[in-house]
Amino acid sequence: MTKTNSPIHNQVSRAVSWAPSPREQDRARIRKLILRRRILVSVLSSAVVLGLLVLLLVTSPGWKVVTTTFFDVQYGLEVLHLVARGLVTNIELTIIASIAIGILSLLLALARTSRSAALTPLRFLATAYVDIFRGIPLILVILLIGFGIPALRLQGVTSNVFVLGTTAIVLTYSAYVAEVIRSGILSVHPSQRAAARSLGLTHNQTMRYVVLPQAIRRVVPPILNDFISLLKDTGLVSILGVIDAVRAGQIESSRTFNYTPYVVSAILFLLITIPLTRYTDYVLMKSINKQNAQGAA
Amino acid sequence: MNVLELINIRKSFGSELVLSDVSLTVPEHTATVLIGASGSGKSTLLRCINLLDSIDDGQIILDGEEISDPLIDVDQVRRKLGMVFQAFNLFPHKTVLENITLAPIKVHGLNPDVATMQAIELLDRFGLSEKADQYPDRLSGGQQQRVAIIRSLAVKPRLLLLDEVTSALDPVLVNEVLAVVRDLKQDGITMVLATHEMGFATQVADEVCFLEHGEIVERGTAGQVLQDPQMIQTKEFLRRVHEAGRL
């Protein structure tokens, strides 16, 4: 668009010279009043609700005891490095597990969406796998793997609790994530597949170059959600004796009968999960905006 | 030489018969235009030629080879066919250039540099070279459809199938797409197309087939079918098209 484009130039100068009519000025004043009242109401209601909650907490009969057994700042600082060291284990476990989950879940999703006759047994197995591991509470899988595998006394199979705990988490989460990826694959419109196939791409090429790239993009926000859950759920391996943040807090608090280490552990988890959650929201909003823009086009 | 021959094609979806005894011969360098109301079977016929849908009976012969044989390699067949869809169906995660070069590189094993060069030549020819690195959602509908046509041309098909390529477009964008198809006809590209644009059909068609309820009711040159229809169904259809201001 050039400056010499006179109709547009005209429109711009008309827009600049515009002054609101008295009626519009009135409406603007009223809108401002409404806005001010809305802000006032939201501030007041927040203050009342939060105030009541604090009051309830502080006036509860056990509050004095709770402040010393849960919120002992001095003690909290003392155990901080122990719990933080435990949290490093959680983070390591999360990173190792996410890589394994990424691979396993993608294979499961591909197996479940394949149509090839030769892969029928694989499709059947993948479906059974997903049914089983989505249906058992994670803590049971951890217990069964953590105590069951060593009990088999197989030659060369580890009894390292870190490895066993990670394995249990990978098995369960792969089933969840596989379903998310599968829903992404199914959400790619059939016309995309038709276009790819009509260009001569084989089923596998269509999957690889056309369907999967679009599917993965769509499932990034829900998978980030699962990733956050994963980080929190790594705390469950503490039942096998892995010294993670939860276990470190437990060891400390059972020594002193003070629960502040648990609170420290919770705060450390929050310091990681809250930014991740905000980031997930941001990614989600971005993808929704993009879809809306596409819908409007 | 005939590029395509359809012999007594029959196709039904469940209990609904969508193609019944359709026979068609498409000689090289000709354009066959399918007209008819929505649901008359035009799109299904094109999808059957492409083996995207399977037929219940009859024969499809492409370059003398029966492709309706269940033992045929469908990927091999589709390499000889180009298809353009009503809704463009560009790949939204790939740029215009990547959309065009995907099949030449991955299916025909062309060197990526050569494929890119050929794609840019085609984009140049149809006035879209500026859009090469854009994603499809940044293009107008008319531009998207032109890119889709180029994409199907890039694999040098023996036969081009065009399925109502202007039906999803603003009236003002229809012409830029039809101009491209006219150009291809000039080049001598063999094609079968379904359209609601009767004026356009008159310009490019070597043969016009009017379909109703899955049957070819009337066929002939554009002059015969569109100007001087013999069958009552054809007359009725053209009258309705005329009323809608589309003739």
Q: What pLDDT, in 10s, does the model give residues B194-238? A: 998 888 899 899 999 999 999 999 999 998 999 999 999 999 999
CA separation for the pair A136, A19 (Å, rounded): 67
CB contact under 8 A, A217 and B93: yes
**DSSP state at residue A118:** G
Cβ-count burial A211-239 (b if 16+ within 10 Å, e if not)? bbebbeebbbbbbbbbbbebbebbbbbbb
A197 interaction partners in chain B (CB closer than 8 Å): 52, 78
Looking at residue A155, what is its pLDDT? 79
| pLDDT band at residue A84 under the 50/70/90 scheme | very high
Residue A199 CA, chain-centre distance (Å), reads 37
Closest Cα partner for B208 from B186, B232, B238?
B238
Residues 7-46 of B with CB under 8 A from A: none
Q: Is the pLDDT of residue B18 over 80?
A: yes
CA distance B77 to chain A (A): 8
Name the residue facing A294 among B102, B137, B155 (closest C-beta): B137
Sign of the CA dihedral with B125 first, then B131, B135, and B136 last: negative
* Fold of the B2-80+159-243 domain: Rossmann fold (3.40.50)
Q: Is the pLDDT of residue A5 over 50?
A: no
Higher pLDDT, B139 or A13: B139
Q: Which of B79, B84, B89 to mutate to test the interface with A (most CBs of A within 10 A)?
A: B89
Which percentage of chain A shows pLDDT scores above 90?
A: 67
Q: Is the pLDDT of residue A66 over 90?
A: no
CA distance B35 to chain A (A): 22
| pLDDT band at residue B243 under the 50/70/90 scheme | confident
Looking at residue A2, what is its pLDDT? 41
Q: What pLDDT, in 10s, does the model give residues A224-264? A: 999 999 999 999 999 998 889 999 999 988 888 899 999 99
Looking at residue A297, what is its pLDDT? 42
Out of A104-113, B105-114, B197-206, pick the least confident.
B197-206
Q: What does the mean pLDDT of chain A come to? A: 89
Q: Is B75 on the interface with A (CB under 8 A)?
A: yes
Looking at residue B244, what is its pLDDT? 80
Q: Is B99 on the interface with A (CB under 8 A)?
A: no
Sign of the CA dihedral with A170 first, then A210, B144, and B167 last: negative
User: A130, A112 in Cβ contact below 8 A?
Assistant: yes
Q: What pLDDT, in 10s, does the model give residues B25-57? A: 999 999 999 999 988 999 999 999 999 999 999
B107 interaction partners in chain A (CB closer than 8 Å): 199-201, 205
CB contact under 8 A, A195 and B90: yes
Question: B24: which residues sit within 8 A by CB, 6+ positions away?
Answer: B4, B5, B6, B32, B192, B209, B216
Looking at residue A293, what is its pLDDT? 66
CB contact under 8 A, A202 and B50: no
| pLDDT band at residue B247 under the 50/70/90 scheme | low
**DSSP state at residue A235:** G
Q: Which of A189, A199, A201, A211 to mutate to test the interface with B (most CBs of B within 10 A)?
A: A199
Burial of B37 (0-12, 13-18, 19+ CB in 10 A): middle
Q: What pLDDT, in 10s, does the model give residues A18-43? A: 888 999 999 999 999 999 999 999 99
CA separation for the pair B83, B162 (Å, rounded): 6
**Interval B167-181 mean pLDDT:** 88
| pLDDT band at residue B22 under the 50/70/90 scheme | very high
Residue A270 — left, alpha, or beta (φ > 0 → left; ψ -120 to 50 → alpha)? alpha
Q: What is the ipTM of this complex?
A: 0.89
CA distance A104 to chain B (A): 25
CB contact under 8 A, B103 and A200: yes
Alpha-carbon distances of B62 from A200, B219, B239, rounded to whole Å = 15, 21, 35
Tell me which chain A residue has its CA closest to the CA of residue B150: A199
Rounded to 10 deg, the angle between the B96-106 and B112-125 helix axes is 130
User: B37, B82 in Cβ contact below 8 A?
Assistant: no
Tell me which chain A residue has its CA closest to the CA of residue B50: A198
| pLDDT band at residue A9 under the 50/70/90 scheme | low
Q: Which CATH superfamily is domain A92-240 in?
A: MetI-like (1.10.3720.10)
- Residues of chain A that touch chain B, judged by Cβ-Cβ distance less than 8 Å: 191-192, 194-202, 205, 209-210, 213-214, 217, 293-294, 297
Closest Cα partner for B107 from B159, B56, B155?
B155
Tell me which chain B residue has its CA closest to the CA of residue A195: B89
A205 interaction partners in chain B (CB closer than 8 Å): 106-107
Q: Is the pLDDT of residue A14 over 80?
A: no
Looking at residue A13, what is its pLDDT? 60
Name the residue facing B155 among A191, A200, A205 (closest C-beta): A200
Out of B135-144, B163-172, B188-197, pick the least confident.
B163-172
Cβ-count burial A10-37 (b if 16+ within 10 Å, e if not)? eeeeeeeeeeeeeeeeeeeeeeeeeeee
Q: What does the mean pLDDT of chain B come to? A: 92
Q: Is B240 on the interface with A (CB under 8 A)?
A: no
Q: What pLDDT, in 10s, does the model give residues A185-214? A: 999 999 999 999 999 999 999 999 999 999
A218 interaction partners in chain B (CB closer than 8 Å): none
Q: What pLDDT, in 10s, does the model give residues A124-137? A: 999 999 999 999 99
Alpha-carbon distances of A128 from A98, A121, A148, rounded to whole Å = 22, 11, 21
